[in-house]
Structure 1
């Protein structure tokens, strides 16, 4: 069935549900997991308004946060008995990074969570999951 599953996480409680589902599926089918966390790009307006120290502080805080998220995910993968790799993707739009990384790394399934927002809330807040679904032909398991 599946041999290499990309699991996207941002460390949130909802993303943790996606991580657990992805790891359970990987264990059941004997697949390996690629666990990714993405730090988004700064908008040009934010960069223009920020000092170099502010940018450096932000990047340091984000890197430390992602490092902990991926450490926690690694523990979960070890506990589940799933072979895994972790990857931090920096300065990318999450949906683009997820799709491109899955393709580049030879994954055959993407697992990610979604809040399931609809209507105006979805339009205002956006949905990385919707963007992934719209931009890939690869199977995507959405956990809610």
Structure 2
């Protein structure tokens, strides 16, 4: 993965803007899933909610972030980890929500099991949420 936000944007064929750089830097700094409201709070002095929303939409379409669903009912987003050998990657991994701090994070090391659906059903997306105490809160 590239070292700077500008490099990451360029590597993904995205125009470099201050909002895109700042949203990306926020994801990289927090290392947990963030909601639109989280980003709006962190960046409210520089960007309005619509600009942040459009940036999230662009990042989703470009596969820079993916949606994370947890028990809050609020859509959160997490930075995608790309394999350097290929652009596309798998979003089907475990997400963990800490009951202490409330943070939701991706656990890339654990892939979801294969699920065989009955005839006539078509899977579009799978997710698995594990809840408990994260390694930071358990120490």
Query: Fold match, TM over 0.5?
Result: no
TM-score of the pair, normalised by structure 1: 0.25
Query: Relative CO higher for 1 or 2, CA cutoff 8 Å, sep ≥ 6?
Result: 1
What's the TM-score once normalised by structure 2's chain length? Answer: 0.26
